[in-house]
């Protein structure tokens, strides 16, 4: 199993490209199931989760072709076509490693009127039930059955009727599934308290490009008028705001100065505010976003929240940065109940962090020290890399399969801005 060896202490400077957004791409890919015509996605990141979802779509008869590109290029272009669906079952062996697999439920219902999907897997960061996905679909006239670890969803003979649903709490995945089921419904669907993340907007924009009729995009009250059919489209995946935020933390903790090319500062509002509060200079650049530090890092207090609040997917990375801030920071995790698994690993590097329930108190320290650490989930993995970049000596991060799920060729990008990072295979 591969590991990354980081020799800390190098100031990150230069230009670093930001890839297409993983969280957006995983919702755009299943849109191929909604039409028999070709869907071409540009700026698709090269990630293990993308490859896994591609294989899942192949299970349903979706053909996938990747345009020729140079190995040194970041991102790629993929054309998907579901001329004829050959199945509507997503089996356990393909779904168990990736929670996003549940996102085939909505489009299969819309196109075929039925779907059987294994209960999903993914990062072990707390209880993430799919009850809101199912309740939303039931409100749209779909019958739900559960047995032997599978969800079976069945639409009436005329297809998904459509209906009204109010999410009791904001759910990105449930909003995405409901959207994809609603676009081919026979009636109108109204989703209240829907998620508003930029990735939701990206999904809506693609669906509209395919012929869907969606009102109030970017607002919490989505209205979807079902249409008889959708057509193909060519669409560019949005930049990854979480990847950009992660590299911003990496630059800041090393006192660096980087420009993240392709990043969109307008989609990073809460992250930019948090970084600026911590003493980091973040400015829009002609080709992306510039991040630099010319003074000490400052302690801050912060709570995670649904968009437009501070993303839970940035909590671990910001915590690593605050380990080097002057003073005491307090972080409160409101989304997942088990998202502090990186704390013991950061402590091995000299961090001083206390956790009580969903609250973490971070006492800034003058120095971190390299150590062997174990990645526990995707974003926790990146927090260890960030800490390692600033630590004295060598840091060895194990279980890189977590990182490979969400960060495209991480060690190559870090090397572009001066980091001393090496990936090595296990002995």
Which two tokens mark 52?
């896994």
Whether residue 393 sits in one domain with residue 262: yes
Whether residue 273 sits in one domain with residue 218: no
Whether residue 296 sits in one domain with residue 320: yes
Arithmetic mean of pLDDT, 72-88: 91
Report pLDDT digits (tens) over 43-68.
999 998 999 999 999 999 999 999 86
Q: Residue 243: which of 258, 221, 222, 224 has the closest Cα?
A: 258
User: In the structure, what pLDDT confidence band is assigned to residue 337 with cuts at 50, 70 and 90?
Assistant: confident
- First CA to last CA distance, the chain: 8
Whether residue 268 sits in one domain with residue 201: no
User: HSE on the CB side for 163, CA within 13 Å?
Assistant: 15
Whether residue 365 sits in one domain with residue 261: yes
pLDDT of 70 above 90: no
Which residues lie below 8 Å from residue 6, measured CB to CB, with a gap of 6+? 370, 385, 388, 389, 391, 394, 395, 396, 397, 419, 420, 421
Domain range holding 125?
A: 22-236
Whether residue 256 sits in one domain with residue 223: no
Q: Give the C-alpha separation, 79 to 95, whole Å.
A: 22
**Residue 336: predicted pLDDT:** 76
pLDDT of 343 above 90: yes
**Residue 334: predicted pLDDT:** 92
Question: Which of 189, 218, 236 delimits the end of a domain?
Answer: 236
User: In the structure, what pLDDT confidence band is assigned to residue 69 with cuts at 50, 70 and 90?
Assistant: low
Distances (CA, A) of 47 to 20, 30, 202, 219: 10, 16, 19, 30
- Which residues share a beta bridge with 303? 332
**129 annotated ligand-binding residue:** yes
Whether residue 195 sits in one domain with residue 245: no
Whether residue 187 sits in one domain with residue 54: yes
The pTM for the full model equals: 0.95
Q: Contact 245/317 with Cβ under 8 angstroms? A: yes
Whether residue 65 sits in one domain with residue 128: yes
Q: Give the C-alpha separation, 118 to 324, whole Å.
A: 43
- Which residues share a beta bridge with 290? 259, 283
Q: Contact 257/251 with Cβ under 8 angstroms? A: yes
**132 annotated ligand-binding residue:** yes
Output Rg (C-alpha) for the chain, integer angstroms.
21
Residues known to be catalytic: 123
**Residue 125: predicted pLDDT:** 34
pLDDT of 97 above 80: no
Whether residue 168 sits in one domain with residue 45: yes
Residue 12 region by backbone torsions, left for phi larger than 0, else alpha for psi between -120 and 50, else beta: beta
Q: Give the C-alpha separation, 109 to 226, whole Å.
A: 13
**Residue 127: predicted pLDDT:** 45
3-class secondary structure per residue, the chain: CCEEEEECCCCCEEEEECCECHHHHHHHHHHHHHCCCEEEEEEECCCHHHHHHHHHHHCCCCEEEECCCCCCCCCEEEEEECCCCCCCEECHHHHCCCHHHHHHHHHHHHHHCEEEEECCCCCCCCCCCCHHHHHHHHHCCCEEEEECCEEEEECCCCCCCCCEEECCCCCHHHHHHHHHHHCCCCCEEEEECCCCCHHHHHHHHHHHHCCCEEECCCCCEEEEECCCCCCCEEEECCECHHHHHHHHHHHHHCCCEEEEECCCHHHCHHHHHHHHHCCCEEEEECCEEEEECCCCCECCEEEECCCCCECHHHHHHHHHHHCCCECEEEEECCCCCCCCCCHHHHHHCCCEEEEECCEEEEECCCCCECCEEECCCHHHHHHHHHHHHHCECEEEEECCHHHHCCCCCHHHHHHHCCCEEEEECCC
Q: Give the C-alpha separation, 101 to 84, whole Å.
A: 20
Question: Which of 212, 236, 260 delimits the end of a domain?
Answer: 236
**224 annotated ligand-binding residue:** no
Q: Contact 45/78 with Cβ under 8 angstroms? A: no
**23 annotated ligand-binding residue:** yes
Whether residue 357 sits in one domain with residue 228: no
**107 annotated ligand-binding residue:** no
Report pLDDT digits (tens) over 197-220.
999 999 999 999 999 999 999 999
**Residue 71: predicted pLDDT:** 59
Which two tokens mark 423?
């990936």
**Residue 122: predicted pLDDT:** 45
- What is the tally of structural domains in the chain? 2
The answer to which of 49-53, 320-324, 346-350, 368-372 has the lowest mean pLDDT is: 49-53
**73 annotated ligand-binding residue:** no
Whether residue 176 sits in one domain with residue 31: yes
Mean pLDDT of the chain: 94
Arithmetic mean of pLDDT, 176-189: 98
Question: Which of 203, 236, 269 delimits the end of a domain?
Answer: 236
* 407 phi, psi to nearest 5 deg: -130, 115
Rounded to the nearest 10°, the torsion over CA 136, 311, 206, 216 is 60
Q: 325: domain CATH number?
A: 3.65.10.10
Residue, of 34 and 378, whose pLDDT is higher: 34
**128 annotated ligand-binding residue:** yes
Report pLDDT digits (tens) over 240-263.
999 999 999 999 999 999 999 999
Q: Contact 379/316 with Cβ under 8 angstroms? A: yes
**2 annotated ligand-binding residue:** no
Dihedral sign for Cα atoms in the order 351, 278, 286, 201 = positive
**Cα-to-chain-centroid distance, residue 241:** 9
């Amino acid at each position: 199993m591969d590991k990354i060896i980081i020799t800390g202490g190098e100031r990150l400077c230069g230009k670093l490209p930001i890839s297409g957004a993983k969280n957006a791409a995983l919702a755009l890919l299943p849109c191929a199931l909604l039409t028999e015509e070709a869907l071409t996605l540009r700026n698709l990141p090269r990630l293990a989760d993308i490859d896994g979802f591609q294989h899942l779509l192949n299970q349903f008869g979706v053909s996938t072709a990747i345009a020729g590109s140079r190995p040194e290029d970041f991102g790629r272009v993929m054309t998907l076509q579901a001329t004829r669906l050959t199945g509507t079952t997503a089996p356990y062996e393909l779904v168990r490693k990736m929670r996003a697999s549940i996102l085939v439920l909505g489009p299969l219902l819309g196109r075929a009127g039925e779907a059987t999907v294994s209960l999903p897997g993914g990062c072990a960061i707390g209880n993430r039930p799919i009850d809101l996905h199912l309740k939303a679909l039931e409100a749209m006239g779909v019958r739900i059955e559960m047995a032997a670890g599978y969800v079976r969803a069945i639409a009436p003979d005329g297809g998904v009727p459509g209906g009204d649903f109010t999410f009791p709490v904001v759910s990105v995945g449930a909003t995405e599934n409901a959207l994809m089921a609603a676009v081919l419904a026979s009636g109108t669907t109204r989703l209240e308290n829907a998620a508003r993340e930029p990735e939701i907007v990206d999904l809506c924009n693609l669906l509209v490009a395919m012929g869907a009729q969606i009102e109030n995009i970017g607002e919490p009250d989505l209205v979807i008028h079902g249409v008889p059919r959708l057509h193909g489209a060519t669409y560019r995946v949005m930049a990854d705001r979480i990847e950009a935020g992660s590299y911003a933390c990496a630059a800041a903790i090393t006192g660096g100065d980087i420009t993240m090319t392709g990043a969109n500062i307008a989609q990073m509002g809460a992250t930019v505010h948090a970084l600026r509060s911590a003493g980091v200079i973040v400015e829009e650049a002609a080709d992306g976003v510039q991040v630099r530090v010319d003074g000490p890092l400052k302690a801050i207090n912060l709570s995670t929240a649904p968009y437009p609040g501070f993303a839970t997917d940035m909590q671990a990375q910001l915590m690593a940065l605050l380990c080097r801030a002057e003073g005491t920071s307090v972080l409160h995790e409101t989304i997942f109940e088990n998202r502090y698994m990186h704390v013991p690993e950061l402590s091995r590097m000299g961090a001083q962090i206390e956790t009580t329930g969903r609250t973490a108190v971070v006492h800034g320290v003058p120095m971190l020290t390299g150590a062997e650490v174990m990645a526990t989930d995707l974003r926790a993995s990146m927090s260890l890399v960030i800490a390692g970049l600033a630590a004295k000596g060598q840091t060895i991060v194990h279980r890189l399969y977590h990182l490979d799920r969400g960060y495209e060729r991480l060690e190559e990008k870090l090397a572009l801005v001066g980091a001393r990072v090496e990936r090595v295979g296990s002995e």
